A and B are shown apart, each in its own frame.
Chain A
Amino acid sequence: MQPSPMRYLLFISCFCFLQACSSLYSNLQKTETDKNCLQKFKPSFTSVLYSAKADVIGKHLSGLLIIKKMPDSSIRIVFSSEMGFTFFDFEFRNDGSFEVHNITKQMDKKSVIRTLKKDFELILMENLKNKLSYSFKDSAFVYTAFPQTKGVYYYITDLNCTQLIKMQRASKSKIAVEAVMQNYINGIPDTIGFSHNIKISNFDIGLKRIER
């Protein structure tokens, strides 16, 4: 008896569903690495200005983004338009707390703030202190994972930890965001990029350092 097309469809759907649910990182091999090797990629922001562009759900924003380490070691990130209008002003404190000092009404949405907060946490690399980290590898890369309350931050380097290839924030089944920091000059990346995995539209942010 020939199986009906409906059965095929059901089988394929179940297979896809199970594939999607299986861990993205399950094919990787557990490995022991020196976690301190990531420290050299942690950006040493003092007061850095970036030209910024963001494509958020069909809307294009551009402007200037300043990242500044304050005397109390907290980090302030302020994004404003070229003409000086402030879009947001965030503070990441040393104790892990976070404060929104200012945000324009159009961006003042929980989901937008949460996404931006996690994006910047990923590149600030303050989570490297997390002792629950673990590492995987494949034939080309080492993935060092830092579990968070929700999801995991992954820092992906070459096997010898000489290059930070990319960063990911992911759940077991889905990469929420991929970020890159490239062309370090004096410990500060010249280029930073975020690409979000959102089905309905794009949500990308690009930063290019401006010399003052």
Chain B
Amino acid sequence: MRKLFFSLSCVLCFIIASAQHAGYSLTTDISKFKQEFSSASQKMQSIKSDFVQEKNLSMLSEKIISKGKFWFKKDNMVRMEYYSPFQYLMIMNRNNVYLKDASKESKVSTSSNKLFQQINKITVDCVRGTALANTDFNFKIFESERNYLVELSPVAKNLKEYFRNINIVVDKKDYSVNRIDMIEISGDNTIINFTNKELNATIPDAIFIIH
């Protein structure tokens, strides 16, 4: 009887875990995923892509759609340039972040701002494929026929105040990131979909320079 109860509980847990993400089931062989993800990310020198960002305001039934271009270059350089419906530029270059909106330019040192440092690390980890090694999060891996879904749950107290989960959808074909979904405590979320990806394209360092 106990065995039956235990088996049923295991099946139920598996069903609940799988039901969290429609079309995905919980991955059983995590070490295989980690190994292949890590191996692919080691070969990934750069990423150039377009992106569409969708901010969902759940209670307002509203979506704010913005578009831009994304560049990543090893080890630690990211450029996100929004061009529609507003202009905004963010460059992360090692420990520095440069922000430019319509009226002002500013520089932030991530070493002096812990939250920025963590968000910087999440972004870079997500695209570089090292998110699983980030100790600020616990993770679960799900998979569908075409993709893996990495569900990151914050452990660090200050991140817990902002995010419920961060879900990263990884393409099984080349282990590149297709989508990042940041779910806030309020239930609002921001999805960034990456399209027209060019892996290992030549990207000059100059576009990451912070003046």
Of the stretches A59-67, A130-138, A140-148, the one at the interface is A59-67
Indicate if A168 sits at the interface (CB-CB under 8 A).
Answer: no
Identify the closest chain A residue to B104 (Cβ).
A60
Contact B186 A86 (CB under 8 A): yes
Given contacts A49-B85, A51-B86, A82-B101, contact A60 B186 (CB under 8 A): no
Contact B55 A80 (CB under 8 A): yes
CA distance A53 to B66 in the complex (A): 17
Binary interface encoding of chain B residues 98-118 relative to chain A, with 1 for a CB under 8 A from any of its CBs, else 0: 010111101000000000000
CB neighbours (8 Å) of A84 from chain B are 53, 55, 64, 182, 190
CB neighbours (8 Å) of A196 from chain B are none
Indicate if A93 sits at the interface (CB-CB under 8 A).
Answer: no
Indicate if A78 sits at the interface (CB-CB under 8 A).
Answer: yes
Indicate if B14 sits at the interface (CB-CB under 8 A).
Answer: no
Contact A86 B60 (CB under 8 A): no
CB neighbours (8 Å) of A66 from chain B are 57, 60, 62, 64
Indicate if A110 sits at the interface (CB-CB under 8 A).
Answer: no
CA distance A58 to B65 in the complex (A): 30
Indicate if A89 sits at the interface (CB-CB under 8 A).
Answer: yes
Contact B62 A68 (CB under 8 A): yes
CA distance A102 to B161 in the complex (A): 11
Give 12 pairs: A residue, B residue, CB < 8 Å, sorted on A.
A47-B62, A62-B88, A70-B60, A76-B59, A82-B82, A84-B53, A84-B64, A84-B190, A85-B190, A101-B186, A104-B162, A206-B103
Tell me the minimal C-beta distance from A12 to chain B in angstroms. 40
Tell me the minimal C-beta distance from A54 to chain B in angstroms. 11
Tell me the minimal C-beta distance from A72 to chain B in angstroms. 12
Pair count A-B, CB < 8 A: 75
Indicate if A210 sits at the interface (CB-CB under 8 A).
Answer: yes
Contact B66 A82 (CB under 8 A): yes
Q: Which of A98-125 contact B (CB under 8 A)?
A: 101-102, 104-105
Tell me the minimal C-beta distance from A53 to chain B in angstroms. 5
CA distance A187 to B161 in the complex (A): 38
Contact B106 A60 (CB under 8 A): yes
CA distance A27 to B118 in the complex (A): 56
Given contacts A53-B101, A102-B186, contact A212 B59 (CB under 8 A): no
Contact A78 B190 (CB under 8 A): no
Indicate if B126 sits at the interface (CB-CB under 8 A).
Answer: no
Listed residue (B101, B106, B161) with the most chain A CB atoms within 10 angstroms of its CB? B101
Contact A76 B55 (CB under 8 A): no
Binary interface encoding of chain B residues 121-164 relative to chain A, with 1 for a CB under 8 A from any of its CBs, else 0: 00000000000000000000000000000000000000001100
Indicate if B90 sits at the interface (CB-CB under 8 A).
Answer: yes
Identify the closest chain B residue to A51 (Cβ).
B86
Contact A85 B62 (CB under 8 A): no
Binary interface encoding of chain A residues 191-212 relative to chain B, with 1 for a CB under 8 A from any of its CBs, else 0: 0000000000000001010111
CA distance A53 to B34 in the complex (A): 42
Binary interface encoding of chain B residues 184-196 relative to chain A, with 1 for a CB under 8 A from any of its CBs, else 0: 1110101000000
